[in-house]
A and B are shown apart, each in its own frame.
Chain A
Amino acid sequence: MTYKRYQYESGMIRDLIKTLVLVATLAANGIFMPTAFCSPPPLQTSATQSSEEIEYGVKAAFIFNFMKFIDWPAEKKAEQDKKQSEKSPMIIGILGNNPFGQSFAPILDKTIQERTIQIVNIESFQEYLRQHGNSQSAVTAYQNKYQQLIQQCDILFICRSEEKTFARVLLITKSHAVLTVSDLPDFAKNGGMIEFVEENKKVRFEINLHAVTQKDIKIRSQLLKLARKIYNDESRG
């Protein structure tokens, strides 16, 4: 069936498309060279990652970077080093319902300050008390079980699941050089060392400098100046 196009010549359009495809073909073969991306595009929810996975992927990367700008007291590692007659690994403890998934996987073969990185999962304190009853004996039992493990950590990330128990966890680390990190609200105000905060779609962090210096941990100025807020006075907990 033939008909007249009212205004536009479809043949012309067909040719335009064919030309475009052929131009693309020719160009692909040499005229235009693939250029490297000038700046990597913001990685957002991909076909395989949920927004939470990306959030914790970013936080894991922050923690990895923190290690580059923090110095733990020499004595902490010294004893462990002597036992193994080589540098013992940096231990990142994750206490609670672990939201990181596989986020730390890419760095398990990297080194920081000549040490390898080890991730340790520690049972949720809050869950433990829920199961064993919220009594002093349960608290003591948990402490006895995990105290040493917690105190050996260089970084301890306290998960959101520990909303009611993080203060107790901070007590366990009280006289040990453990850098405590969390994204629980008011963590830094209540004696935690580094708190992740979300602002305008981006991850920021606050530092309780008082808690940090009490344990003889040194945070270099490059990291301090990037913090959103620094708490200097003595805080509760």
Chain B
Amino acid sequence: MKIKVWTSFLQIPTAILLMGVSCGFAHGENSKTGNSEALFDMSIEQLMQFELDTVYTASRFEQKITEAPSAVTVINADEICLYGYKTLLDILESVPGFYKTYDRNYGYLGVRGFGRPGDYNSRVLLLIDGHRLNDNIADGLLMVRDFSLDVDLIKKVEIVRGPGSALYGSNAFFAVINVITKNSSDYNGLELASYLAEHNTASARATYGQVFNDNFQGLFSGTYFDQDGQPLYYGEFGGTADNDDDNANSFLVKFSFSDWTFLATHVQREKGIPTAPWGTIFGDRRTRSDDAMTQIGLTYQHDISDDLSILGRVAYNRYDYDGSYAYDDGGEYINYDFWKGRWWTGELQFTKMFSDTHRLIFGTEAQYNIRQDQKNYDEYGVYLDDHKHSKSWGMYIQDEFHLTRNLSLISGIRQDYYDSFGFTVNPRAALIYQAFEDTTFKFIYGKAFRAPSVYELYYNDGNATTKSNPDLQPEEVESFEIVWEQTIDETYHLTCSGYYNTVENLINQQTDPGDGLAQFQNVSEVTAKGLEATLQGRWKNGVRMKTGYAYVRTHDKSTGSTLTNSPEHMVHFNLIYPLISETLLAGIETKWTSERKTLGGNKINDSFVTNLTLTYENLLKHLNVQLGIYNLFDESYQHPGFEEHLQDVLEQDGRTVGVKLTCRF
């Protein structure tokens, strides 16, 4: 296996030697020289088309970060490229207060102290170009190679921390993340990328983007990813499992014409599960999961007049999960787990300016779940065959009121209705005070909810070990936050936020003492208080630095202690350093995470992981070569295991080297 990898590596230098003067530059999407010169060559009409850097997600319209009613982080395509991020979880891990957990099957995002084993990423709302992505069975998200987009196709990720239900409804519990895709104009031709790494990892992407005429643009992209993985030793089983393979295909089609945008994304990913969860046969390659997610969406956005604009969205979504688990209870058999979700979403939103002091946004959203099927069976019987369909809708309104030149009040409220539990109303208010030219304070209060998922409501195996709970109520969070944003010397930008969250009706799987069956119930109340501080710096020579510290202290009233898998401290340091100006750049990312509690009541040691990416741009004029070294110092570190794992802790990857080649025609 090792030999195979190295011969693959030899292809790269060979290819470079063979390459003549050729392809189009393919890093990020903008030219890095003479930006302002190019501006003076533009006509006024062109300048008027020019887009400034603003953020959309915080208020559902474009605004400056300092005016947004939340703590916001934006990660751009050039950072995604220069830091060598390969998955969405890699990108999100760099956000203050966020951390990741990987169980060799799915990737999980921890936010502000919450990363409990067994949670399905349902306390974060993820959007792709504004379309909600959370599935309709577990309200979960796929964030590693099973994410709907190749990260190369991401233009920017906007992360709005804090409760967002006043605008977005369910799952906007701790954060709202909007992944914005690139446009055809970012490619203007064909781009090919090829990635090879250890553990027989290979990935290839072909993207074609073209602006056909004035108003019509098309973007097409397909990615293939295949990884054999590595043999993993687990002492609990006294052996090595070789079932860590990961294989994924994804594609994207995007058309935009005038006010209309059509976006279709699809991903299908199969993963071997080497950890022998749920008492399955250790090392058996038949234990694996297969997830597929498709989203087809249409957006219409139009300025009706100077002060009124309309936005409409409709999307069709499909989610399929197939799991197979190999058991040996005296005889070998495979148990099949199966989720099938089909749903439509639609929304209509108006933004209106009243005089110069009020900007009002009001809208309505609906989700119609055509199918929410859960099934579990094997050759001995069918244990679960549940078919549901349901609907939900919401109405929201938000007002941005400029009281004075440097004081504004943003207040909003949303009402949601769910078939399963009825109505819920969630408000948010933020007072934004620009004390000085470079200083802004935000005082934020908000409530958010998470509707119980179909999985939590109805999953049962015929009352053999689990039973359903149709009376589940939504989880609720109430949040107080203060944010301080400060620009220093035009070089540094500091963002500090302190928050206090109270989570109620937290849904947990409990055992009913009456019948010994497991059931999801609203049981816990958890508080989390924390602090996040980030300092960013940009210098004229191209050096960019981002460093931060996050602290969170959780308290679970039912256990009287902190949550499992919740690191109290996190420090991160990121640096982009041009070794040769605009040609050879180094991206360094370092993250220190303090110890985490496991389900077994133990503690995982703190971890210190460093990733290094070297990017050579414009090699032979239009080729981009990257060398990425993940876990540079080969640090041994673990993540907590989940309920289904015999292992209390799961060892994570050591040093892994990869090379990526990107070329445009």
Residues on A facing B (Cβ under 8 Å): 1, 3, 5-8, 10, 13-14, 16-18, 20-30, 32-35, 37-52, 54-55, 57-58, 60-62, 64-65, 97, 101-103, 105-107, 110, 160-161, 163, 185-186, 198, 200-204, 223, 226, 228
Chain B contributes a number of interface residues (CB within 8 A of A) equal to 89
Task: Across the interface, name the chain A residue whose C-beta is closest to B662.
Answer: A24
* Between-chain CB contacts (< 8 Å), 21 pairs: A1-B231, A1-B242, A3-B242, A14-B4, A20-B204, A21-B11, A25-B18, A25-B19, A28-B20, A28-B22, A34-B665, A39-B185, A44-B30, A47-B544, A47-B576, A47-B578, A48-B32, A61-B39, A62-B44, A65-B44, A223-B44
Task: Across the interface, name the chain B residue whose C-beta is closest to A52.
Answer: B490
Query: Do A35 and B189 have beta carbons less than 8 Å apart?
Result: yes
Query: Do A202 and B49 have beta carbons less than 8 Å apart?
Result: yes
- Chain A residues within an 8 Å CB radius of B78: 45-47
Query: Do A22 and B15 have beta carbons less than 8 Å apart?
Result: yes
- Chain A residues within an 8 Å CB radius of B542: 47-48
- Chain A residues within an 8 Å CB radius of B190: 32
Interface residues of B in 17-69 (CB under 8 A from A): 18-20, 22-24, 28-32, 34-40, 42-45, 47-54, 61-62
- Chain B residues within an 8 Å CB radius of A186: 356
- Chain A residues within an 8 Å CB radius of B34: 106
Query: Do A64 and B40 have beta carbons less than 8 Å apart?
Result: yes
Distance A35 CA – B24 CA, assembled complex (angstroms): 8
Q: Is B263 an interface residue (CB 8 A)?
A: no
- Chain B residues within an 8 Å CB radius of A54: 35, 52-53
Query: Distance (Å) between the CB of A201 and the closest chain B CB?
Result: 4
* Known A10-B200, A43-B30, A46-B78; contact A201-B188, beta-carbon cutoff 8 A: no
- Chain A residues within an 8 Å CB radius of B51: 42, 44, 201-202
Query: Do A45 and B53 have beta carbons less than 8 Å apart?
Result: yes
9 pairs of A and B residues whose beta carbons are closest in the complex: A28-B22, A51-B53, A32-B665, A61-B39, A25-B18, A106-B37, A13-B226, A201-B62, A57-B36
- Chain A residues within an 8 Å CB radius of B623: 28
Query: Do B47 and A61 have beta carbons less than 8 Å apart?
Result: yes
Interface residues of B in 646-665 (CB under 8 A from A): 661, 663, 665
- Chain A residues within an 8 Å CB radius of B661: 21, 24
Q: Is B90 an interface residue (CB 8 A)?
A: no
Query: Do B188 and A185 have beta carbons less than 8 Å apart?
Result: no
Distance A49 CA – B576 CA, assembled complex (angstroms): 13
- B598-630 vs A, Cβ < 8 Å mask (1 yes, 0 no): 000000000000000000000010110000000
Query: Do A61 and B40 have beta carbons less than 8 Å apart?
Result: yes
Distance A23 CA – B226 CA, assembled complex (angstroms): 20
Contact of B228 among A5, A18, A64, A203 (CB under 8 A): A5
Query: Do B23 and A28 have beta carbons less than 8 Å apart?
Result: yes
Known: A33-B665, A46-B28. 4 other contacts (CB 8 A): A37-B188, A41-B188, A57-B36, A198-B52
Task: Across the interface, name the chain B residue whose C-beta is closest to A38.
Answer: B211
Task: Across the interface, name the chain B residue whose C-beta is closest to A29.
Answer: B20
Task: Across the interface, name the chain A residue whose C-beta is closest to B285.
Answer: A6
Query: Distance (Å) between the CB of A152 and the closest chain B CB?
Result: 24
Q: Is B1 an interface residue (CB 8 A)?
A: yes
Contact of A6 among B49, B189, B245, B578 (CB under 8 A): B245
Q: Is B332 an interface residue (CB 8 A)?
A: no
Query: Distance (Å) between the CB of B24 and the closest chain A CB?
Result: 5
- Chain B residues within an 8 Å CB radius of A32: 22-23, 190, 665
* Known A14-B202, A29-B22; contact A51-B40, beta-carbon cutoff 8 A: no
Query: Do A8 and B405 have beta carbons less than 8 Å apart?
Result: no
Q: Is B499 an interface residue (CB 8 A)?
A: no
* Known A28-B20, A34-B22; contact A14-B36, beta-carbon cutoff 8 A: no
Query: Do B622 and A46 have beta carbons less than 8 Å apart?
Result: no
Interface residues of B in 259-318 (CB under 8 A from A): 270, 272, 285-286, 288, 303, 306, 309
- Chain B residues within an 8 Å CB radius of A97: 437
Interface Cβ pair total, 8 Å cutoff: 218
Q: Is B517 an interface residue (CB 8 A)?
A: no
Query: Do B40 and A106 have beta carbons less than 8 Å apart?
Result: yes
Query: Do B23 and A51 have beta carbons less than 8 Å apart?
Result: no
Query: Do A65 and B82 have beta carbons less than 8 Å apart?
Result: no
Distance A46 CA – B30 CA, assembled complex (angstroms): 7
Query: Do A24 and B44 have beta carbons less than 8 Å apart?
Result: no
Query: Distance (Å) between the CB of B533 and the closest chain A CB?
Result: 20
- Chain B residues within an 8 Å CB radius of A226: 44-45, 48
Query: Distance (Å) between the CB of B268 and the closest chain A CB?
Result: 13
- Chain B residues within an 8 Å CB radius of A103: 36
Contact of B40 among A55, A101, A107 (CB under 8 A): A107
Contact of A14 among B8, B22, B272, B544 (CB under 8 A): B8
| Most B Cβ at <10 Å: residue of A26, A33, A46 | A46
- Chain A residues within an 8 Å CB radius of B186: 41
Q: Is B224 an interface residue (CB 8 A)?
A: yes
Distance A38 CA – B212 CA, assembled complex (angstroms): 9
- Chain A residues within an 8 Å CB radius of B578: 47
Query: Do A62 and B29 have beta carbons less than 8 Å apart?
Result: no
Query: Do A46 and B272 have beta carbons less than 8 Å apart?
Result: no
Contact of A49 among B23, B35, B43, B192 (CB under 8 A): B35
* Known A46-B35, A58-B39; contact A228-B52, beta-carbon cutoff 8 A: no
Q: Is B76 an interface residue (CB 8 A)?
A: yes
* Known A7-B270, A17-B196, A27-B665; contact A65-B47, beta-carbon cutoff 8 A: yes
- Chain B residues within an 8 Å CB radius of A25: 15, 18-19
Q: Is B538 an interface residue (CB 8 A)?
A: yes
Query: Do A200 and B62 have beta carbons less than 8 Å apart?
Result: yes
Distance A109 CA – B30 CA, assembled complex (angstroms): 25
- B410-427 vs A, Cβ < 8 Å mask (1 yes, 0 no): 000000000000000000
Distance A42 CA – B62 CA, assembled complex (angstroms): 16
Q: Is B256 an interface residue (CB 8 A)?
A: no
Distance A185 CA – B355 CA, assembled complex (angstroms): 13
* Known A24-B192, A47-B82, A203-B47; contact A60-B576, beta-carbon cutoff 8 A: no
Query: Do B272 and A58 have beta carbons less than 8 Å apart?
Result: no
Distance A203 CA – B285 CA, assembled complex (angstroms): 58
- B221-232 vs A, Cβ < 8 Å mask (1 yes, 0 no): 000101010010
- Chain A residues within an 8 Å CB radius of B384: none
Query: Do B540 and A24 have beta carbons less than 8 Å apart?
Result: no
Query: Distance (Å) between the CB of B35 and the closest chain A CB?
Result: 6
Query: Do A18 and B437 have beta carbons less than 8 Å apart?
Result: no
Query: Do A105 and B36 have beta carbons less than 8 Å apart?
Result: yes
Q: Is B392 an interface residue (CB 8 A)?
A: no
Query: Do B663 and A28 have beta carbons less than 8 Å apart?
Result: yes
Interface residues of B in 168-190 (CB under 8 A from A): 183, 185-186, 188-190
Query: Do A204 and B30 have beta carbons less than 8 Å apart?
Result: no
Distance A163 CA – B51 CA, assembled complex (angstroms): 26
- Chain A residues within an 8 Å CB radius of B82: 47
Q: Is B360 an interface residue (CB 8 A)?
A: no
Query: Do B52 and A28 have beta carbons less than 8 Å apart?
Result: no
* Known A61-B42, A62-B44, A228-B306; contact A41-B52, beta-carbon cutoff 8 A: no
Distance A35 CA – B62 CA, assembled complex (angstroms): 33
Query: Do B52 and A51 have beta carbons less than 8 Å apart?
Result: yes
Query: Do A24 and B224 have beta carbons less than 8 Å apart?
Result: no
Q: Is B12 an interface residue (CB 8 A)?
A: yes
Q: Is B194 an interface residue (CB 8 A)?
A: yes
- Chain A residues within an 8 Å CB radius of B49: 42, 202
Distance A186 CA – B405 CA, assembled complex (angstroms): 10
Distance A65 CA – B210 CA, assembled complex (angstroms): 30
Distance A65 CA – B303 CA, assembled complex (angstroms): 26
Distance A61 CA – B180 CA, assembled complex (angstroms): 28
Query: Do B228 and A58 have beta carbons less than 8 Å apart?
Result: no
- Chain B residues within an 8 Å CB radius of A16: 202, 204, 224
- Chain A residues within an 8 Å CB radius of B203: 17
Contact of B192 among A18, A20, A48, A203 (CB under 8 A): A20
Query: Do A48 and B23 have beta carbons less than 8 Å apart?
Result: no
- Chain A residues within an 8 Å CB radius of B211: 38-39
Task: Across the interface, name the chain A residue whose C-beta is closest to B18.
Answer: A25
Q: Is B247 an interface residue (CB 8 A)?
A: yes
Interface residues of B in 479-510 (CB under 8 A from A): 490
